[in-house]
Amino acid sequence: MFPTDDAKAGIISRLDATTLVGGSVYEITTPNLTLHWRVSPRRPIFKARLSNGPISKPGQMAIVAADIRAYIIAGQADETLHTLICNIDPDWLSQIADKPIRADMQISSLDFYNAAIEMYLRRAVEEITVCDLKSDFAISSLSDLIGIELCRVLGCHDSKRDAIMPKKRIQSVRNFIMESEIVPNVSDIAREFNVSIGYLSKSFKNLSGINLHRFIDEQRMERAKSMLISNTPIKRVAYLSGYSNHSAFGFAFKRYTGQTPQAFQIQHFRKT
């Protein structure tokens, strides 16, 4: 834990590096903004429920508004989660952003990815672990960098509300989905292009005329059909189609085609 009392030294009043294994954690934020960053060895994992709202989608980072109870899902029992909680002075953040940081902006930023913030957070964890004479100065400097980048994230929400990604970039998104060895999910795509899931989904729908989730599902199913026709084992088809287990794949495939993967494969080879 590293407290900073001097507001000029940095906007983070506490850096708390912890490790959680399984289970769920209930917590109440301090009277500041709270930035959570959680990483598991296998996938990004962070889910939260604010007040009586729905559970958020999984992500690596979340901004939780002040004085709101957050229900945090830590992950599977065999997952080790590295957690960094930054309590941020909202007045300082508002000054940098040159406008008030409203609660609705904080909550709307629940699930996002930012490569710069992640890099600074990783470095902060390293400095906390070292704890030498230079760590205090390093963490203070990293606090400033995290705060500036966080202001950029929060400050762009209003301007991006009506904006969308360029058409060429959406085409790059389509190519990324179709050319990846394993069909990616929305979080993977947002991370690859360093944008929020909401901004990505809205841009894709506006320019492609189709929901991004639906496009991904269609790509998964069409790719799965081709692999089944080529007699690829069903478990491998499920894996390459982006499903964590073949049961979930079988359910999705039957919903899409009206047949189980086994029946589809048998029917094809009977015809040939």
Other CB atoms within 10 Å distance of the CB of residue 226: 11
Angle, alpha carbons 100-102-106 (nearest 5°)? 125
pLDDT score for 70: 53
- Asked if 34 and 101 count as a contact pair (C-beta separation under 8 A), the reply is no
Whether 45 has a pLDDT exceeding 80, the answer reads: no
pLDDT score for 240: 92
pLDDT score for 58: 52
Dig out the tokens for 263 from the structure: 């029946």
> Residue 147's Cα: distance from chain center in Å?
19
Domains of the chain with CATH codes: 7-160 (2.60.120.1030), 167-271 (1.10.10.60)
pLDDT score for 161: 46
Q: Per-residue confidence at 113, pLDDT binned at 50, 70, 90?
A: low
Q: Per-residue confidence at 158, pLDDT binned at 50, 70, 90?
A: very low
Q: Could you give the CA distance from residue 175 to residue 235 in angstroms, rounded to a whole number? A: 25
Sign of CA dihedral 150, 151, 154, 157: negative
Q: Per-residue confidence at 247, pLDDT binned at 50, 70, 90?
A: confident
Q: Could you give the CA distance from residue 15 to residue 86 in angstroms, rounded to a whole number? A: 5
- Asked if 32 and 113 count as a contact pair (C-beta separation under 8 A), the reply is no
Whether 131 has a pLDDT exceeding 50, the answer reads: yes
Q: Per-residue confidence at 246, pLDDT binned at 50, 70, 90?
A: confident
More confident residue, 268 or 88: 268
The burial class, CB within 10 Å (0-12 / 13-18 / 19+), for 41 is: exposed
Average pLDDT, whole number, for the chain? 71
pLDDT score for 242: 87
Which pTM value belongs to this model?
A: 0.46
Pairing of strands 33-39, 80-88: antiparallel
- Asked if 223 and 183 count as a contact pair (C-beta separation under 8 A), the reply is yes
pLDDT score for 148: 78
- Asked if 171 and 178 count as a contact pair (C-beta separation under 8 A), the reply is no
